[in-house]
A and B are shown apart, each in its own frame.
Chain A
Amino acid sequence: MQARLLLQDGTLFTGTAFGAEGEKTGEVVFNTGITGYQEVLSDPSYCGQIVTMTYPLIGNYGITRDDFESVRPFVHGFVVRRHESVPSNWRAEYSVDDLLKEYDIPGISEIDTRMLTRIIRHYGTMKAILTTSNKRVEELMEMMGDTTIEQLRNQVARTSTTTTYSSPGHKERIVLVDYGAKTGILRELNSRGCDVVVVPHDVTADEIRRLNPDGIQLSNGPGDPKDVPYAVQTISELLGEYPIFGICLGHQLFALACGADTEKLKFGHRGGNHPVKELESGRCFITSQNHGYTVNEESVVNTDLEVTHINNNDKTVEGLKHTRYPAFSVQYHPEAAPGPHDSSYLFDRFLELIAEHKANQPAGSRQAQLAANARITAPKPSAPQLEAVKGAL
């Protein structure tokens, strides 16, 4: 069956359909990873996007139950040069085609994906419509126009957990705020013995306080950080109170909460080969990235933030730390999946920060904390949320 991909600028690609039949609009972006298409497909940060893989052969090793980064894919379309329908890997359970069909995501193959990538590189990310229908181009253009950016937004709410749940451990209690979190973050924390409580994106500061965490992990997530002002509010309330570690969208929200600003990149960073320099040591790490927005470097100047990492190619901000509070963040993905494992040490650093923070607490502060908690008069949590919290405890 034929499929077409129509870009906002009028460029039309005609190829072969795979995955689900239908029509989806989204922002078209490219990912340069050679491996990891399953993780990309299931990374909630791609919510609302039509993703093209620059590596031409996709599906070689199939789909396995172990490699999902969330419960389902949120992409709006998948674009590849060649869909390999017969996977070969000991863990393969089914094909990319099966996965896309299951979640009603259209795919297109047999098109010049390098040309598409070059268009995006040149003109920036843009809207596109992926269809298996026979509709006229004009009609498709109109449909694309009707899809407002707003409809494509609201992605955080779509991808976040709606309930709080716990992934128990015997060490530090970490509240993981899920803005569309990748499972990898939870996996990294759990593997270090952390007692993780995952909370929804719209959690309030008091709700977090009541969970009495040792630290707060801000997750990655899709879209523009400015679309979730409530999250910024919550983070700013908790600053200084608990050690905080932000990843990707969590990093951007942390920056906004500290008074810095974010902006959109022309075509973002998506892939597993991005060099990030740690300014303190001068060392470079190859990182996994997926973001369309970035923290504006100049906006950091008059805040309490310090740039700790930059992208060694375009010099954009890749990491921040608070100069007074125990809080830091990175724009990239230390949890990898997909991508290199070089930066997983950041989770250890987070736990060290928590330990330091604890050690620095004056004696009796635990009691003071309890007293403070008792004074909380913020709105009471809803019944189901409370249930969940109890369950988590």
Chain B
Amino acid sequence: MPKNDKLKKILVIGSGPIVIGQAAEFDYAGTQACQALKEEGVEVVLINSNPATIMTDTNMADKVYIEPITLEFVTAIIRQERPDGLLPTLGGQTGLNMAVELARAGVLKSENVKLLGTQLESIEKAEDRDLFRELMRELDQPVPESAIITSVEEAMGFASGIGYPLIVRPAYTLGGTGGGICDNEEELRETVKAGIRYSPIGQCLVEKSIAGMKEVEYEVMRDANDNCIVVCNMENFDPVGVHTGDSIVVAPSQTLSDREYQMLRSASLKIIRALNIEGGCNVQFALDPQSYQYYVIEVNPRVSRSSALASKATGYPIAKMAAKIALGYTLDEIVNPVTGQTYACFEPTLDYIVSKIPRWPFDKFISANRKLGTQMKATGEVMAIGRTFEESIHKAIRSLEIGVHRFRLPGAELLEESVLRYRLAKPDDERLFLIAEAFRRGYELQEIQDITNVDWWFLSKIEGLVSFEEEIRGEETLSAEILYQAKRKGFTDRAIAEIRAEGRPGGAFTKESEVRVMRLQQGLVPVFKMVDTCAAEFEASTPYYYSTYETENEVIHSDKQKVIVLGSGPIRIGQGIEFDYSTVHAVWAIQKAGYEAVIINNNPETVSTDFNTSDRLYFEPLFFEDVMNVIAQENPIGVIVQFGGQTAINLAAPLAAAGVNILGTSLESIDEAENRKKFEALLARLDIAQPKGKTVINIDEAVETAQALGYPVLVRPSYVLGGRAMEIVYNDTELLSYMVEAVKVNPEHPVLIDRYMLGKEVEVDAICDGETVVIPGIMEHVERAGVHSGDSIAVYPPQYLDEGLKQKISEITIKIAKELKTIGLVNIQFVIYQNEVYVIEVNPRSSRTVPFLSKVTGIPMANLATKIILGGKLKEDGYTEGLWPESDYVSVKVPVFSFAKLRRVEPTLGPEMKSTGEVMGRDKLYAKALYKGLIGAGMKIPATGAIIVTVADKDKAEAVELMKGFHAMGYKIIATGGTAAALEQAGLNVMNVNKLDEGEPTILDLIRGGQANFVFNTLTKGKTPERDGFRIRREAVENGVVCMTSLDTVTALLIMLQTINFSSESMPAFVGQ
């Protein structure tokens, strides 16, 4: 069917900020969709609140709105733009929910906007539990038996008919609070009782447990002509019970026979047809490993995380096809862009195995509950491709960058037997490695299967790899045959050397370099094969490759000069989508400069790993050996490391040592910025102030230093990423506990102690070509120093900095950039304390704020930096030294957190970064921009309501002043003991509420009961208050109540509210009366 010509203008809704469960995959999907729509001559209007995305670049759509994705704002845009159609299926759950809201509010009808892709009725059928079950019954598709109950008796009644195990899910609680699996009557009684209490409506869903079954997913597409295809199927390593986003996944399925495969395929097609979806859809199944019995677990009537994975796993561009289908095209008439000669109506077939492993934030959130269950916890994921499972999974492991690069988890050998068993049975993020440990301890495969329910096939592979280690270390010297086999199984040179060293320390081939030399002498190098959607049946021209130890190399050589850009790997806290944004811009700039741009990356969610982003994409681990293999293949003029975050920066030294040309800022300069001693010397040389501090290598020295500097002090380990393990301590006790519990301190791992100054934080990104330094803008943080810059609200242009300070900041930036001989980007963080400017940190690379600053200043920073790196000069492009003129608009960057999904994580802002994403608010007025930012970040900010205040003693005076403002606007103030007294004393009307130990109803009941709109709580040190404060904050984030833990944020909120709301004041009395 040809394109629907009535659709001339289409509104695309993005997915908003990155949160757990909704990450970069929607930037990839949205970008592809916008490109596909524009290709067809459709005018594209885009709304997304997330500035760190490629899709919100102004060249991606005809009109880009970086505004909150709320009914209010989207409606306004619809009224303004009058689009013919709305495409909501590429913006994740956010996009879909928005479409439902718009439809229900009657906006689509009144403005005559056609809903494209999936109809409202289908969305409801897929999303509403009851409608979904009804549909499945109609289709004769099995779903687990369940019942909605409001009493223990009802639950018992259901159980007597179904049997155990059962899953209890309390209604409307986040993160599965109060639910769980019950194996017997006693457990059920207890869980249901608790569940009813936790549920605000006193209701639980009791469901037959299918935990332990195989979990299989199908990615399906359908067009208006009812043509249906399966793009990919995937099998989870982890059985049902672990959220699919937290599961290790392989594509295609490995243990399904054709009958099972086709049975589930047919079911998927039946479902997508019944839902009448025009576009992509994802169907999740549970399959009994002992019969043909299966259950439909879930259907996503839209492009999803799994679609992004399926796209990258097969090469089939799902989002692009979904966009074309939305325009009315049918699959059989859309050319498969991968082959260029066949059509999109076919089912991709793989001739490799894809492994996906989630990347969890537990390295940042040490206190978090690592156990994996029905609530997703991963922030990102890695994907790897190999010709065997062993090769593929090995690559995936070393792509994770978690300090484990093979099947050996440091310290696993020390685990007690009971702990090991427990952790095998109750999966957490490290189970993959613990399975290997169990094999090392001599567990039988059957035993491990009984404990884990992981399929025999996967377990036998791990067993094989563990036992192959014996062969690697078996002989005195490393034989060519063993080396060959090891490489085919995905062992790196480093792994081989380490394994040999375990068996015979100091023996032959126990150093990576030795293994590498031997391997190269034997000419044992990997070849690169193409991901072509068709297993080589048709000639393809996609430049999408993976390495493997096979015979034929498929990379086609070109005579053009090449530049390699290292990507940033999986999304994690501190290294998010912002780096992918810069990577993509770098690629574009390289191409424009006349070179071929080559990307190495392993994140399936990103735009950088789209096959048509670069000239050649190598889907490989960002691991020394893998990167070297690509370099050997491509022979580039150099490698750019400054856009791939710390991942790429960390590779600079080993690559340079291996003779690779690092383009841009030199390795020496990188080291000068990152090495504490050299950095101190640099600042001293330039006469630039920095907070006093010292590097210590033992505990005594730490205490001594802290006392000399004066408390509070900021302590952190030496090489940092996103403020990991950084803390502010106020006294000796706190310092000692940090030194003992949080870090390992020794001469190799020194700890830095800095004087902590409670000043204003300011951040700058600059571009330097060695001669000229351009500063696109200065960003002022709302929260004072002590809150990680990634977690602060940043404002551009600064609202509270005078010209003198701006001048000073510019001067320092220019000095540092020049002294470091920066070629490209540099990020500098300052603290302004008592009108003095101090430098806290210099990052000789592209930073998190580059996309934001690029967008608000209009300077394409990553692009420009790449030009410079390739030899261009800023002056040639008309840039002059210094601070770029400030914009008339105010933009704020507001961090977004995923606390509700991570139980036990402390929501207080501190020096450790905790946010997962960001949104932008932009307006002519600061207050309005801030409003948009906060609303966009998901906060509900009513003009009237109740505020709970409990602050530390040191904050009371400040809090009282602030609360006067809220009080004047008519907000109801609720407080506990001390805070209440302080507020009352100031003449405010306060409702006193019980602390946790003062008897019910306590402050928690109030929050749970929805009686508060805001919680302002600052951290009080000390055991009980700390624990109580934690519970208050957790209760707030879990109930979706706005929780502010810094009075600076509260101040900003107050200013905003005062500006946009009216407050009433009685008339002043006559003078003299």
Give A contacts to B, CB under 8 Å: 30, 32-36, 38-39, 54-57, 60-61, 64, 66-67, 81-82, 84, 86-91, 111-115, 117-118, 121, 271-275, 277, 282-284, 286, 312-313, 336-342
Given contacts A35-B256, A273-B348, A283-B227, contact A112 B552 (CB under 8 A): yes
Within 8 Å of chain A (Cβ to Cβ): is B835? no
* Chain B 510-535: CB-based contact to A (< 8 A → 1; otherwise 0): 00000000000000000001000011
Chain A residues lying within 8 Å of B352, measured Cβ to Cβ, are: 56
Q: Is the CB of B265 within 8 A of A118?
A: no
Known contacts A56-B387, A114-B550; 7 additional CB pairs below 8 A are A32-B534, A88-B255, A112-B552, A114-B529, A284-B225, A286-B229, A339-B258
Q: Which of A36, A57, A274, A337 has the most CB of B within 10 A?
A: A57
Cβ-neighbour of B225 out of A32, A35, A282 (below 8 A)? A282
On whether the beta carbons of B536 and A114 are closer than 8 Å, the reply is yes
B388 touches A56 (CB 8 A): yes
Q: For window 240-264 of chain B, which residues contact chain A by CB distance below 8 Å?
A: 252-262
Bound-complex Cα distance A35 to B256 (A): 8
B509 contacts the other chain (Cβ, under 8 Å)? no
Instruction: Write the nearest CB–CB distance from B233 to chain A, whole angstroms.
Output: 8
Instruction: Please name 23 pairs of A and B residues whose Cβ atoms are closer than 8 Å in the assembled complex, sorted by A.
Output: A32-B534, A33-B349, A34-B261, A35-B257, A54-B536, A56-B387, A61-B255, A67-B259, A81-B388, A88-B455, A89-B255, A89-B256, A89-B260, A271-B537, A273-B349, A275-B346, A282-B1, A282-B332, A337-B258, A339-B262, A340-B262, A340-B347, A341-B266
Residues in A with CB closer than 8 Å to B554 are 118
* Least CB distance, B875 to chain A, in whole angstroms: 51
Are B256 and A88 in contact, with the CB atoms below 8 A?
no
A35 touches B332 (CB 8 A): no
Which residue of chain A has the shortest Cβ distance to B290 in the bound complex? A90
Nearest Cβ distance between residue B346 and chain A, in whole angstroms?
5
Enumerate chain A residues within 8 angstroms of B353, measured Cβ to Cβ. 56-57
Q: How far is the CA of A59 from the CA of B256 in the complex (A)?
A: 11
Residues of A within 8 A of B226 (CB): 283
Is there contact, CB below 8 Å, between A67 and B343?
no
Chain B residue at minimal CB-CB distance from A282: B225
Q: Are B534 and A35 in contact (CB under 8 A)?
A: no
Q: Which residues of B contact A54 (CB under 8 A)?
A: 349, 351, 535-537
Q: How far is the CB of A300 from chain B (nearest CB, A)?
A: 21
* Count of inter-chain pairs, beta carbons less than 8 A: 161
- Note all chain B residues with C-beta closer than 8 A to A67: 257-259
How far, in whole Å, are A27 and B700 apart by their CA atoms in the complex? 78
Cβ–Cβ contact A32 & B349, under 8 A: yes
List of B residues within 8 angstroms of A272 by Cβ: 347, 349
Q: Are A35 and B536 in contact (CB under 8 A)?
A: no
Q: What chain A residues lie within 8 Å of B539 (beta carbons)?
A: 121
Complex CA gap A36/B253 in Å reads 12
Nearest-neighbour CB distance to chain B for A34, whole angstroms, equals 5
Q: Which 5 A-B pairs have the closest CB atoms?
A: A36-B258, A115-B552, A88-B457, A54-B535, A112-B551
CB nearest neighbor in A for B388: A82
A54 to B535, CA, bound (A): 6
Which residue from B227, B259, B342, B456 sits with its C-beta under 8 Å from A313?
B342
Give the docked Cα–Cα distance between A112 and B553 (Å): 10
Q: Would you call the interface of chain B mostly helix, strand, loop, or mixed?
A: loop
Q: Is the interface of A mostly helix, strand, loop or mixed?
A: loop
Distance in Å from the Cβ of B276 to the closest Cβ of chain A?
A: 16
Please report the C-alpha to C-alpha distance between residue A271 and residue B535 in the assembled complex, in whole angstroms.
11
Nearest to B233 among chain A residues (CB) is A34
List chain B residues, Cβ under 8 A from A33: 258, 349
Chain B nearest CB from A296 CB (Å) reads 21
Tell me the minimal C-beta distance from A347 to chain B in angstroms: 15
> Which residue of chain A has its CB nearest to the CB of B464?
A86
A336: contacting residue among B262, B345, B538, B552, CB under 8 A: B262
Inter-subunit contact B535/A114 (CB<8 Å)? yes
Given A283-B226, A313-B343, is A55 in contact with B257 using a C-beta cutoff of 8 Å? no
Interface pair A115/B257, CB less than 8 Å apart: no
* Cβ-defined partner of A32 (8 Å) among B257, B261, B535, B551: B535
Name the A residues within 8 Å of B290 (CB-CB): 90
Contact present for A34 and B349 (CB under 8 Å): yes
Contact of A275 among B258, B343, B349, B389 (CB under 8 A): B343
Contacts of A284 in B (CB 8 A): 225, 227, 330-332, 345
Q: Is B460 an interface residue (CB 8 A)?
A: yes
Residues of chain B from 385 to 401 with CB closer than 8 A to chain A in the complex? 387-389
Cα-based distance from A4 to B572 in the complex (angstroms): 48
Q: Once the chains bind, are A55 and B551 in contact (CB under 8 Å)? A: no
Q: In the complex, which residues 328-350 of chain B have their Cβ closer than 8 Å to any Cβ of chain A?
A: 330-332, 341-343, 345-350
Interface flag for B175 (CB, 8 Å): no
User: Bound state CA distance, A35 and B235, in angstroms?
Assistant: 13
Bound Cα distance A121, B532 (Å): 14
Which residues on A sit within 8 Å (CB–CB) of B269?
Answer: 342
Q: How far is the CA of A318 from the CA of B365 in the complex (A)?
A: 59
- A338: chain B residues within 8 A (beta carbon): 258, 262
Tell me the bound Cα distance from A36 to B347 in angstroms: 15
B289 at the interface (CB under 8 A from A): yes
> From residue B286, how far is it (CB to closest CB) to chain A in Å?
15
